């Protein structure tokens, strides 16, 4: 897929290096003398997919994509297939990567792939409401609201619980906080373990629901059924590629990139930010200018 990205849009899907990936190359890059990743012609003959986390990987947390990343994604898309895999919904991906993200990426996986797009067309949608049932959802949400009311933190704003198609996002400070307040809460949380303690309480209280809790970004954590982490998106691509690379920043155990980073079906790469993503891509896929 060699179509270029408009200046406002990004590329592929997800947050040092560890690998396991798949990318499909354009026919003109698959001829005999092509030089592949790290100079390997064999690698270029493979169907390769690069998946990218959004926050902390393609963009700074909750910020818009920068021009250098746009250009790098355009370059990369000439060599391999690209996609995004984020925990947020499609609206938030569009806010950060551009309104034409569905055209700019070959695959777009929102909510860990529970809402999946290929070539701009909807592939599938999974429903948390159907899976858990209204009674279990109500019990869980009510418990969270009571817990949130008793948390003593420097400030609180609004939108503490966000219900999505395939997950629940919980934010002790509230998603309506400003960027400055986000930054302040992140520092406070690192020092006091607010989210970690909340997750431990929920994991014990709702063990019977077999839920997974994933801390990501600066201010919140995601809750979803076991197996509905970012590896969920791989069911749509693993049979079509020989190698799938995943790039993300929250690849530590408990981070929302961990499961797909550690999956046997991917080559995982830990990045420290957008500039590091670009650096690693240029080392792995030096062709193409």
Annotated catalytic residue within 15, 42, 55, 240: 55
Closest to 88 measured CA to CA, from 49, 123, 56: 56
**Contact present, 175 and 181 (Cβ < 8 Å):** no
Q: Does the annotation count 55 as an active-site position?
A: yes
Q: Is 249 annotated in some ligand binding site?
A: yes
* Contact (Cβ atoms closer than 8 angstroms) between residue 70 and residue 10: yes
Residues 6+ apart with CB under 8 A from 207: none
183 annotated to a ligand binding site: no
Tokens of 240: 């079509």
Whether 222 has a binding-site annotation, put simply, is yes
User: What values do phi and psi take at 245, rounded to 5?
Assistant: -100, 135
64 is in an annotated binding site: no
- Strand 220-225 to strand 211-216: parallel, antiparallel, or no bridges (unpaired)? antiparallel
End-to-end CA distance of the chain: 16
Residue 261 annotated as binding site:
yes
53 annotated as a binding-site residue: yes
254, 222 Cβ separation under 8 angstroms: no
Per annotation, catalytic residue among 15, 42, 53, 104: 53
Give the C-alpha distances (Å, rounded to integers) separating 221 from 130, 167, 175, 191, 253. Answer: 21, 10, 11, 17, 14
Active site residue 152: no
62 is in an annotated binding site: yes
Angstrom distances, CA of residue 18 to CA of 13, 169, 257: 16, 28, 13
Is 205 annotated to bind a ligand? Reply is no
Q: Is 77 annotated to bind ligand?
A: no
Which of 2, 117, 6 has the alpha carbon at shortest distance from 70?
A: 6
Binding residues for alpha-D-mannose 1-phosphate are: 62, 164, 175, 182, 220, 222
Binding residues for Mg(2+) are: 53, 55, 249, 261, 266
Residues with a known catalytic role? 53, 55
Binding residues are: 53, 55, 62, 164, 175, 182, 220, 222, 249, 261, 266
């Amino acid at each position: 897929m060699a179509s270029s990205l408009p200046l406002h849009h990004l590329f592929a899907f997800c947050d040092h290096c560890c690998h396991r990936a798949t990318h499909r190359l354009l026919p003109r890059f698959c001829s005999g003398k092509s030089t592949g990743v790290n100079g390997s012609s064999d690698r270029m003959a493979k169907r390769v997919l690069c998946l990218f986390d959004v926050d902390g990987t393609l963009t700074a947390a909750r910020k818009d994509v920068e021009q250098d990343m746009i250009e790098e994604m355009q370059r990369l898309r000439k060599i391999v297939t690209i996609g995004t895999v984020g925990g947020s919904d499609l609206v938030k991906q569009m806010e950060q990567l551009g309104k034409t993200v569905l055209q700019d990426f070959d695959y777009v996986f929102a909510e860990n792939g529970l809402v999946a797009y290929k070539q701009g067309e909807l592939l599938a949608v999974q429903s948390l409401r159907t899976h858990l049932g209204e009674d279990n959802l109500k019990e869980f949400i009510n418990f969270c609201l009571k817990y949130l009311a008793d948390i003593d933190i420097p400030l609180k704003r609004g939108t503490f619980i966000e219900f999505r198609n395939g997950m629940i996002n919980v934010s002790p400070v509230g998603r309506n906080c400003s960027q400055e307040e986000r930054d302040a809460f992140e520092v406070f949380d690192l020092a006091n373990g607010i989210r970690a303690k909340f997750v431990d309480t929920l994991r014990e209280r709702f063990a019977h629901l077999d839920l997974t809790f994933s801390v990501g970004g600066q201010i919140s954590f995601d809750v979803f059924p076991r197996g509905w982490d970012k590896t969920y998106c791989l069911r749509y691509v693993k049979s079509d590629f020989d190698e799938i690379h995943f790039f993300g920043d929250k690849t530590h155990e408990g981070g929302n990139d961990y499961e797909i980073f550690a999956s046997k079906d991917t080559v995982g790469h830990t990045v420290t930010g957008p500039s590091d993503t670009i650096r690693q891509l240029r080392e792995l896929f030096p062709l193409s200018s």
